[in-house]
Chains A and B, each alone.
Chain A
Amino acid sequence: MNDRIPLAPLQKLAWYQLIVFAIAVALYLVAIPYLAWHRHLTWGVAADPALGMFGVLGLWGFGVYFNYDRKRRAMVKLDEREDFINQRAGTLGMQFFWLAFVLSHMGVWAVYNIRHHTTVPVDVLPLLVLAGWIVYTVTQSIAILVQYKRSASNDSL
């Protein structure tokens, strides 16, 4: 007999984070042509203010509620396997974060050096931090979902 297994709190959190990210990307892609049309800008110029749409990622902060059990009025207790999944996903996310973060910083620095600018503009730095955090969170979410999928594919009762 097969039945649907309710999503574990970690899976809910991962899906929530990915959905919010997808919404932010979709809004960004919609905002570029809209701003270009509304403000009479080229798409390249409109892409800059459209980055504001990534402010939607602030909703990730509500993700903590998926780990809260309202009935017990306590944080959800992960079992040992879920702890492993969480740890591995976090480690993977951190590795990708460092890769992207260091590469992007060195890449930006190289580009400005080649163009004879000796300093990186200050407004680029928050974007790099945001990009790094996105890489961490998205990688972590995907890793959580993949691990649950791999280790629990047999759902028979």
Chain B
Amino acid sequence: MTLSETARLKNRIRKLRFEHGEMTQQELADRIGAARQTIIALEAGKYAPSLMLALRLAKAFGVKTEDVFQWDGD
């Protein structure tokens, strides 16, 4: 995925964390088996996750993948 495509991938991770009892980045990272820096990069829109990581994120919040990520591309 190119940098411009990554920038068009929006996510609601931060909002979902706060809706889930103000979950910290570290707690979320531990739940999905990732590093906290990866959560930071995701929230900042600087990293496009693999399908598996996206699914794990959605499962951690108990929502569908499209409720976490939105791509406004063509």
Residues of B within 8 A of A150 (CB): 46
Contact with A8, one of B24, B37, B44, B47 (Cβ below 8 angstroms): B37
Question: Within B38-74, which residues are at the interface with A (CB < 8 Å)?
Answer: 38, 40-41, 43-44, 46-47, 49-50, 52-53
Q: Is the CB of A82 within 8 A of B38?
A: yes
- Quick one: given A80-B49, A80-B53, A157-B24, are A148 and B37 in contact (CB under 8 Å)? yes
- Quick one: given A152-B40, A154-B43, A154-B44, are A8 and B35 in contact (CB under 8 Å)? yes
Q: Is the CB of A152 within 8 A of B49?
A: no
Nearest-Cβ distance from residue B12 to partner chain A, whole angstroms: 16
Nearest-Cβ distance from residue A119 to partner chain B, whole angstroms: 49
17 pairs of residues in contact across A and B, judged by CB atoms under 8 Å: A5-B37, A8-B35, A8-B37, A79-B35, A79-B38, A79-B53, A80-B38, A81-B49, A82-B35, A82-B37, A82-B38, A148-B37, A150-B46, A151-B37, A153-B44, A153-B46, A157-B24
Binding site for A on B (CB under 8 A): 24-25, 33-38, 40-41, 43-44, 46-47, 49-50, 52-53
